[in-house]
């Protein structure tokens, strides 16, 4: 650690910054969706959301302070980041530096194991891993709840990947000061009857191409123009209450029904935006038909879709291979993965 760092890094009640840190985080899939911000600067959403962190596709990110660097250097899967990706990481690091009272730029390496373009919440695992590594490297001394607030400022859904298993992200309030509003919006684990639920998520990758509309732009357009947005936001609050009860009971069929209707409602709000945002493709509907057929055949399987055409099917772990087989048969040649509940973000290796 450089003398300059030592001199400027210590704060009352804080810890001295480390020279570097590495963290790993997994993506999460929302069963009650986040769609729409009421404060874009602080990343405060209109609604609470609830997700399952996955045990596949981790992102590993290292952050090393570099006193000699004039700008942050960021590589994503070995390639230098440019443009919007670099700007988002650097803006996030500015927030960390402001809180730490440090000016040193950073060298960031991030390795994402999500297949390219899989539309599998890579910003959630990416910013959760970055938040945990950067907070450690800059010596912020945050607890897990504080890390969920910090990760939120990189990407809203990243707040939920700080924890493993089932996680709720509280929308919080925009009343009061910025600090009060920031404190009010955080993620925490939700109680679940794990043994009864024993869930799996079958992930069908239907389109590896880039999205036409970013989720950030699409949610803004939906909030601003869709007449269905406010009714969905109200019904989503009821869905969350019912979802919490269903998780506590370990009632997989109820969890799946609520998740599926919440997702379809979110997509309905987008379809009613002006102009419409349509992420669902013909292949999406083909998989949805196969899920309906599975239910007719007595298998508890329920679909959810995010800002892309890919479908994630919630089912019991014992049914996962049968569900994956039915989905593969519906869309031959497309990649289908099976995930379970995964761990929260953590520091890794020698930096721990
Ligand atoms: C979710 N999605 O709850 C929802 C459902 C997509 C559909 O969170 O603008 O990348 O960085 O806060 O978190 C995707 O949005 O958006 C998302 P920002 P984010 O998982």
DSSP for 112-145 reads E-SPTT--S-HHHHHHHHHHHHHHHHTT----HH
Provide the pLDDT for residue 256: 98
Q: Does the pLDDT of residue 5 top 60, yes or no?
A: no
User: What local confidence, expressed as pLDDT, does residue 11 receive?
Assistant: 41
Q: Are strands 105-112 and 73-76 parallel, antiparallel or unpaired?
A: parallel
Helices 122-137 & 83-100 angle (0-180, nearest 10): 30
Distance from the alpha carbon of residue 35 to the mean position of ligand 1, in angstroms: 7
β-pair partners for 313 = 202, 303
On whether the CB atoms of residues 4 and 144 are closer than 8 A, the answer is: no
Mutate to test the pocket of ligand 1, among 153, 157, 259 (most ligand atoms within 8 A of CB): 157
User: 51 in helix, strand or coil?
Assistant: strand
The model's pTM: 0.94
Residue ranges of the chain assigned to CATH 3.30.70.890: 199-339
Q: How far apart are CA 27 and CA 69, in angstroms?
A: 31
Q: How would DSSP label each residue in 162-201?
A: TS-SEEEE------S-HHHHHHH--EEE----HHHH-EEE
169 lines ligand 1 (CB under 6 A): no
- On the CB side of 205, how many CA atoms lie within 13 Å of its CA? 18
Residue 157 neighbours by CB distance under 10 Å: 30
Regarding the beta carbon of 34 and ligand 1, being less than 6 Å apart is answered yes
Each residue's pLDDT tens digit, 8-25: 333 433 444 557 999 999
Whether the pLDDT of residue 81 is over 70: the answer is yes
Residue 116 has pLDDT above 70, yes or no: no
Q: Is 156 in the pocket of ligand 1 (CB under 6 A)?
A: yes
| CA nearest ligand 1 atom 18, residue | 155
The region that residue 321 occupies, defined by phi over 0 for left and psi between -120 and 50 for alpha, beta otherwise, is alpha
Question: What does the pLDDT look like over 122-172, one tens digit per residue?
Answer: 799 999 999 999 999 999 999 999 999 999 999 999 999 999 999 999 999
Residue 239 token pair: 């869905």
Of 280, 291, 270, the residue nearest 336 (C-alpha)? 291
Q: Tell me: the pLDDT tens digits for 240-252?
A: 999 999 999 999 9
d(CA 185, CA 174): 9
Are 270 and 211 a contacting pair, CB within 8 Å? no
Checking 82-90 for CB contacts under 8 A at 24+ apart, the result is: 88/154, 89/130, 89/154
What is the pLDDT averaged over residues 309-317?
Answer: 97
Q: Is 110 helix (H, G, I), strand (E, B) or coil?
A: strand
Is 169:156 a contact under the CB 8 Å cutoff?
yes
Distance 172 CA to ligand 1 centre (A): 17
Q: How far is the CA of 38 from the centre of ligand 1 (A)?
A: 14
- Which residue ranges does the chain devote to CATH 3.30.230.10? 12-193
- Classify the phi-psi angles of 5: left when phi > 0, otherwise alpha if psi is within -120 to 50, otherwise beta: alpha
Rounded to the nearest 5 percent, the helix, strand and coil shares of the chain are: 40, 20, 35
CA distances from 7 to 11, 142, 329 (A): 10, 21, 62
Record: fold of 199-339: Alpha-Beta Plaits (3.30.70)
Are residues 47 and 168 in contact, defined by beta-carbon separation less than 8 angstroms?
no
pLDDT reading at 64 higher than 50: yes
* CA-wise closest residue to 124 among 90, 94, 152: 152
Bridge partners of 341? 54
Q: What is the CATH number of domain 12-193?
A: 3.30.230.10
Answer whether residue 66 shows pLDDT above 80.
Answer: yes
């Amino acid at each position: 650690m450089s003398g300059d760092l030592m001199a400027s890094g210590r704060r009352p009640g804080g810890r001295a910054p480390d020279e570097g840190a590495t963290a790993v985080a997994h993506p999460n899939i929302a069963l009650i969706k986040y769609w729409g911000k009421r404060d874009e600067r602080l990343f405060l959403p209109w609604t609470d959301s609830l997700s399952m962190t996955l045990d596949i596709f981790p992102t590993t990110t290292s952050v090393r302070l570099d006193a000699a660097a004039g700008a942050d250097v960021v590589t994503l899967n070995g390639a230098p980041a440019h443009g919007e990706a670099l700007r988002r990481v650097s803006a996030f690091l500015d927030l960390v530096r402001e809180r730490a009272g440090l000016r040193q730029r950073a060298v960031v390496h991030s390795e994402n194991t999500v297949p390219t373009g899989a539309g599998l919440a890579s910003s959630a695992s990416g910013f959760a891993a970055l938040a945990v590594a950067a907070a450690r490297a800059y010596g912020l001394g945050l607890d897990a709840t504080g890390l969920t607030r910090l990760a939120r400022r990189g990407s809203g859904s990243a707040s939920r990947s700080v924890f493993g298993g089932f996680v709720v992200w509280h929308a919080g309030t925009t009343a009061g000061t910025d600090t009060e509003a920031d404190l009010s919006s955080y993620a925490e684990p939700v109680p679940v009857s794990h043994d009864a639920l024993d869930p799996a998520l079958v992930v069908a990758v239907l389109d590896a191409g880039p999205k036409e509309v970013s989720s950030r732009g699409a949610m803004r357009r939906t909030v601003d123009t869709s007449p269905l947005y406010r009714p969905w936001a109200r019904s989503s609050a009821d869905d969350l209450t019912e979802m919490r009860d269903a998780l506590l009971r370990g009632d997989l069929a109820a969890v799946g029904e609520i998740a599926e209707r919440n997702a379809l409602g979110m997509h309905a709000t987008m379809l009613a935006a002006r102009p419409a945002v349509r992420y669902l493709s013909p292949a999406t509907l083909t998989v949805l038909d196969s899920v309906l057929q599975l239910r007719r055949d007595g298998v508890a399987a329920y679909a959810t879709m995010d800002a892309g055409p890919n479908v994630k099917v919630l089912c019991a772990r014992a049914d996962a291979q049968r569900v994956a087989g039915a989905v593969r048969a519906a869309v031959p040649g497309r990649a289908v993965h099976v995930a379970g509940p995964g761990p929260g973000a953590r520091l890794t290796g020698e930096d721990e």
